[in-house]
Structure 1
Amino acid sequence: MVSTPLVSSGGLVVHPATHARFDDVRTMVGPKNPTSNVCWCLSHRIPAKDNRELAGPDRGAYVEALTRKRTKPGVLAYDGDEVVGWAAVAPRAELPFARSTKIPHVDDQPAWSVWCIRVRPGHRGRGISHVLLDGAVAYAAQRGAPVVEGYPVHNEGRKVDLTMAYVGTRKLFEDAGFEMAATTEATSAGFPRVVMRRGV
């Protein structure tokens, strides 16, 4: 799989989640038990009813089909040949966020959303989330996005439960050049979520 990385930093590279990289997508977001009805990073990608009804192996098949589309479902971070991170990124108009009553639309620009950032256990604390976020922005820009949004927690330095940390923190987004654009009525892990934005 020879391709030009979206981002290269500190020995890490970020690539779009193409079909050729589907096994790495599975490593990052597929459940240990393939018959499980969880994750595959679908909870904010498809309507809640569809997410509940999509069961077992069909969930993986749905994501595999996404990797075959022209616009890929996210980006992957690598340390050498080893996949170490995932970030979901897509046009907000194609996501349930488009109809959210809790997370406001800032303006009429066709924003892209980054809503899930995951780093593999054993690789945390190396700045991989920062590289992933830069890669997600680079991919959105490559696909014509004028602006990218995230909906992280405003935790003010307090510890966020690891199971809910995938939404990111306000500081993570600020460090990547995002600015706070709006408050929301949404919460995660007991913390308020905010709309962070960055033009591309």
Structure 2
Amino acid sequence: MSDCPTATNEQKDAARTSLRERSTDRVASKRAAVSQVGEGLTAILTESLEVSLCVDSDSDTSIIPYDLLQELPSTAYSITKLKSPVKVRVVGGAKLIAKNQVSLDVQVRAAAGPVKIRGVKCLVLEESEDQFILGKDVLSSLGIDVSTMIEQLAASTCQYFDADDLNLPVAEVGADSEEGILVKLAELRKEAEKEDREDIGLCEDLYTCV
């Protein structure tokens, strides 16, 4: 943009602003896609509690909030204290601390039907959350590639923010001259068609070349 000789400073600033907005829209759409992947999914923990399930391609380990853990029968699990606290990055980018770990039997609905996974190791979060996070290690064992799902959904969402759909003031070198040539050639082609002239082919060739 800075090398464009025909663009004014205002046009360059407008173009830069539009590019920043487009980048922001793509990030927002990807975040929406992450939420959409997990929307409506549930898991059954220890055959006793159905909870909202969040799939997270960035989480190496499954995570359960302490509040949800308290709703399970006390005989269905045992908590193990970690040697040192572990930082956990959850959906949205927030970093939380886990001091304990628990092993649970988890049932999820996969493409082939319900799948029961025994002994899923989960970090326990003290913070108040309402979703059970299934780590990518477990998802991979089920044949679920969440990263691909997210990218596909993000791409689908991003089509609404495509530059072709936006009326952006992006300056292009020689845009005015080229547009004038195309208009003139279109007029010549129409005149040749009306008069059924033999040189209509030349007009077509020139129009295509431009």
TM-score, scaled relative to structure 2: 0.23
Larger Cα-atom Rg: 2
TM-score, scaled relative to structure 1: 0.24
| Structure with higher helix content | 2
